[in-house]
Amino acid sequence: MQKPTDWTHITIGFDGRAVNGSYSVEGGMLIVKGPRGQITSQIEEGANPIWTAVRLLRNLAAAGKA
């Protein structure tokens, strides 16, 4: 049986508005979800997952998916 994933809520400022999302770390992969999209990236050695999640959520917002 697979263990449930813990998601952490984050909010960033982008283009004068608040953007909400959440992120989770599973097996060395970082998953970031926005209201209309999701992106996955491998966590770099020594990188802090929260800062990587913020960067990915900004990318989702720029693409109109958050």
In tens, the pLDDT along 8-60 reads 999 999 999 999 999 999 988 999 999 899 999 999 888 899 999 999 999 99
Per-residue model confidence (pLDDT) at position 44: 86
Phi, psi of 26 (to 5 degrees): -135, 115
Please enumerate in sequence order all residues whose Cβ is within 8 A of that of 65, keeping only pairs 6 or more positions apart, or say none. 34, 35, 36, 37
Query: Is the confidence at residue 61, as pLDDT, over 90?
Result: yes
Confidence of residue 2 (pLDDT cuts 50, 70, 90): low
Neighbouring-strand partners of residue 40 = 31
This prediction's pTM = 0.88
- 3-class SS of residue 55: helix
